[in-house]
Structures are given as structure tokens and as C-alpha cells.
């Protein structure tokens, strides 16, 4: 049983259609005039196990994972790849035009395209609509965007499609008239060559009529193309305005959630200005405070005391050095300061001599 089921699946894949019947399979599997007699049994078994779906239940069948749907899933992936490759998402187009693109891009046949299309429509991956254009019934189709849901075909989209079809017809008519004009001119030349003046004149008159007709159609084509361009511009402007609105709403939400108001901002700036002015005033006051000069003589007296302590530690007789008065009179302070400088230098020199002598004695030992 598994052999025949796998063989049927392979046959469907090869033929590009998941729609099969016992009669079709008998013809496919006919070998030397002999057909397999077990196909009816295989079909009944597959139907009972829901591995096949009868054509009566095709549009209402929702169970996935069955034999037929497995093949339809492959065709669904092929169809969606074709849609993505040719950028057909959210584009309203004639169903027959889509089939031409599909058949050129895959091995799916006309008989095999209906099941995946029905399944995609049930899953809201595409939408369809039947419209009447020039007393002709037309089947329109629109695929959803990637990972989206197909939106219904609106009256605006239907109108755009009708305008585009009329545009195509005008282009075809203009091309046809140009061809007729070319043929007419050939006839005019032929009549002139044959000396048939009146016939050449009649045909030339027809050529002028064709040119006027072509000019009218060119004018109509320009008008239609202008209308289409304005429609597309309006749709683009709508998207721009929508983007502006979204940005404005987002900014409003940010301002509302932040709690910032004009009054609060004004108060904050006023407080900041006041604090900065206070800070600058404090800096000015600090920089204006006078710094007392340090008495150099007192520093020298303190330094002399420290040197005396060091002389005592080094066993140097400090009585060999004279010590000026600690606090001389104010009028004698300049000369007294000079005496202190001289005395301190002598004591520092004595310390250096003592330190060097100690180092020499240490090295000699």
C-alpha cells in the first residue's frame, strides 16, 4: 500500500497538480496496455484515512497534514515565492495575468493551481473579487504582504485597475493605428507608382483620418496617465501625512508622560538663573578677600631653630655661630634679615661638611 501511495505522490509532483482521479492514474500507470487494478482500493484507503480529500469537500476541508494538503503546501510555498520574487504583494491584478507569471516560473499546471489558491484564500493570504468591466466579468486577486493578512479589494483599487486597463487598451489602439498608417502610406506610394492619382488621394485622406484618430487617443492617454499619476501621488501623500501624524502623536505622548510643562520649564530656568547669579556673586566675594603676607623673618627664625636642632644632633658646637636678635626693631628689620640669611647659610654649610666627613669615615672603615 505504501508503495502505491508514494508513487501517487511522486506522480502528482511530477505533473504539477495535486488533483487526481482513478481514471487519470490508470492512464499514467498504464504499461503495455495493462493498468493496475489496485488503485480503487488504494484510493478508498487514502480517503478513509483522510490522506485524500474529495473534490466535493475541497473548499470546505480545513484539516492540514493530509496527503493532498502536503502537496498543496509545496505548491503554496512555490506560489508565495513567485509573489515575493515579482513583488506582487498588495497589488490588485487580473487572476489570468498572475497565472501567466506562475506558469512561467514553476511547473504548477492549470489543473493544480486551484487547490493552493483556495487554501491561501481560506488562510486570508489572498483575497479575490469579481468585477464587471465593459460588460466582461473579470476575476481580480490580491496577495497579502509578508506575514500579513490580505485586505479586501477596495473600490479605489478596482477603479485604478479599470483605468490601467483602459490605458493599456489605448496603447494597443495607438500601436494598431500607427501600423495602419504605415500600411496606408505603402498603398499611397504604390498607387502613385502605378499612376493612380485619385486612388492615392483617397488613401491619403484615410491616412489623415487615422492620424486625427491617433491624436485623439494620444490626448486621452495623456489624460489617463495624468490621472493615474495624481492618484499614486495622493496615496504617497497619504502615507507621508500618516507618518507625520504618527510622529506628532508619539511626541505628544512623550511630553505627556514626562510631565514637562511650559510653566514648569519657565520656573526651572528662572531658579537656575537665580542660583547661577548667587554662585557668581559668591565667587566675586571670595576673590576679593585679601590674603595676609607671611613674615619672611619669622620663617627664617623658625628655619634657624630647626637647623640648631640638627646641629645639636650632629654634635656641632653652635656657639661658634652668632645669633641675631629674634625680634629686631622694625626700622632695623631689613639689615637684621640679611644677617639671618648669612647666619643660616653658615650653619647649613657646617652641616654639609659634617655629613660629608661622616661619609668618608664610614667608607674608610
Convert 307-322 to b/e letters by CB count within 10 Å (16 or more is b): beebbeeeebeeeebe
- Co-location of 182 and 246 in the same domain: yes
Of 232, 260, 288, the last residue of a domain is 260
Say what the pLDDT of residue 65 is: 35
Q: Is 300 part of a structural domain of the chain?
A: no
- Co-location of 139 and 166 in the same domain: no
**Average pLDDT of span 70-93:** 82
- Co-location of 34 and 116 in the same domain: no
Tell me the CA end-to-end span of the chain in Å, nearest whole number: 116
Q: Is 255 part of a structural domain of the chain?
A: yes
Residue span of the structural domain in which 177 resides: 160-260
Report residue 68's pLDDT band, with 50, 70 and 90 as the boundaries.
very low
Q: Is 269 part of a structural domain of the chain?
A: no
Statement: residue 319 has pLDDT above 90: no
Q: Is 164 part of a structural domain of the chain?
A: yes
Q: Is 310 part of a structural domain of the chain?
A: no
∠54-58-63 over CA atoms, to 5°? 95
Which three three-digit cell numbers place residue 215? 491624436
Say what the pLDDT of residue 290 is: 59
- Co-location of 256 and 169 in the same domain: yes
Of 198, 228, 260, the last residue of a domain is 260
Report residue 45's pLDDT band, with 50, 70 and 90 as the boundaries.
confident
- Co-location of 109 and 135 in the same domain: yes
pLDDT in tens, 238-261: 778 888 888 888 888 887 887 777
Task: Name the residue with higher pLDDT: 186 or 73.
Answer: 186
**Average pLDDT of span 199-225:** 91
Rounded to two decimals, what is the model's pTM? 0.49
Q: Is 102 part of a structural domain of the chain?
A: yes
Q: Is 189 part of a structural domain of the chain?
A: yes
Of the listed ranges 80-84, 222-226, 254-258, the least confidently predicted one is 254-258
∠225-158-123 over CA atoms, to 5°? 135
Domain count, the chain: 3
- Which long-range CB contacts under 8 A does 167-170 form with residues at least 24 apart? 167/221, 167/224, 167/225, 167/228, 170/217, 170/220, 170/221, 170/224
Of 207, 234, 260, the last residue of a domain is 260
Q: How many CB atoms lie within 10 A of CB 170?
A: 19
* Domain CATH code at residue 94: 1.10.10.10
pLDDT in tens, 282-317: 888 887 665 555 666 776 777 777 777 766 776 666
Statement: residue 216 has pLDDT above 90: yes
- Co-location of 8 and 54 in the same domain: yes
Say what the pLDDT of residue 58 is: 52
Q: Is 213 part of a structural domain of the chain?
A: yes
Amino acid at each position: 500500500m505504501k508503495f502505491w501511495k508514494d508513487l501517487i505522490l511522486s506522480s502528482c509532483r511530477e505533473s504539477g497538480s495535486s488533483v487526481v482521479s482513478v481514471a487519470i492514474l490508470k492512464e499514467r500507470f498504464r504499461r503495455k496496455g495493462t493498468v493496475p487494478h489496485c488503485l480503487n482500493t488504494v484510493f478508498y484507503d487514502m480517503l478513509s484515512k483522510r490522506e485524500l480529500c474529495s473534490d466535493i469537500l475541497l473548499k470546505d476541508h480545513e484539516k492540514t497534514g493530509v496527503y493532498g494538503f502536503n502537496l498543496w503546501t509545496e505548491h503554496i510555498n512555490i506560489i508565495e515565492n513567485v509573489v515575493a520574487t515579482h513583488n506582487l504583494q498588495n497589488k490588485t491584478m487580473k487572476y489570468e495575468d498572475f497565472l501567466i507569471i506562475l506558469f512561467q516560473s514553476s511547473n504548477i499546471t492549470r489543473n493544480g493551481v486551484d487547490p493552493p489558491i483556495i487554501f491561501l484564500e481560506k488562510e486570508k493570504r489572498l483575497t479575490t473579487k469579481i468585477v464587471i468591466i465593459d460588460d466582461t466579468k473579470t476575476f481580480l486577486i490580491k496577495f497579502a504582504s509578508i506575514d500579513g493578512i490580505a485586505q479586501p479589494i477596495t473600490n479605489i483599487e478596482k477603479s485604478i485597475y479599470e483605468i490601467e486597463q483602459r490605458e493599456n487598451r489605448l496603447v494597443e489602439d495607438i500601436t494598431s493605428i500607427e501600423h495602419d498608417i504605415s500600411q496606408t502610406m505603402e498603398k499611397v506610394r504604390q498607387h502613385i507608382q502605378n499612376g493612380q492619382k485619385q486612388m492615392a488621394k483617397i488613401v491619403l485622406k484615410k491616412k489623415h483620418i487615422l492620424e486625427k484618430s491617433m491624436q485623439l487617443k494620444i490626448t486621452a492617454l495623456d489624460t489617463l496617465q495624468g490621472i493615474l499619476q495624481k492618484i499614486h501621488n495622493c496615496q504617497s501623500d497619504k502615507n507621508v501625512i500618516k507618518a507625520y501624524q504618527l510622529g506628532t502623536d508619539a511626541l505628544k505622548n512623550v511630553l505627556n508622560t514626562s510631565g514637562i510643562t511650559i510653566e514648569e520649564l519657565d520656573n526651572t530656568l528662572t531658579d537656575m538663573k537665580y542660583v547661577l547669579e548667587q554662585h557668581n556673586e559668591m565667587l566675586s566675594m571670595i576673590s576679593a578677600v585679601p590674603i595676609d603676607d607671611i613674615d619672611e623673618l619669622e620663617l627664617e627664625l623658625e628655619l634657624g631653630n630647626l637647623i640648631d636642632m640638627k646641629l645639636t644632633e650632629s654634635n656641632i658646637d653652635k656657639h661658634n655661630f652668632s645669633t641675631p636678635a629674634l625680634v629686631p626693631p622694625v626700622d632695623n628689620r631689613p639689615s637684621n634679615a640679611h644677617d639671618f640669611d648669612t647666619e643660616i647659610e653658615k650653619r647649613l654649610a657646617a652641616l654639609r661638611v659634617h655629613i660629608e666627613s661622616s661619609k668618608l669615615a664610614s667608607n674608610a672603615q
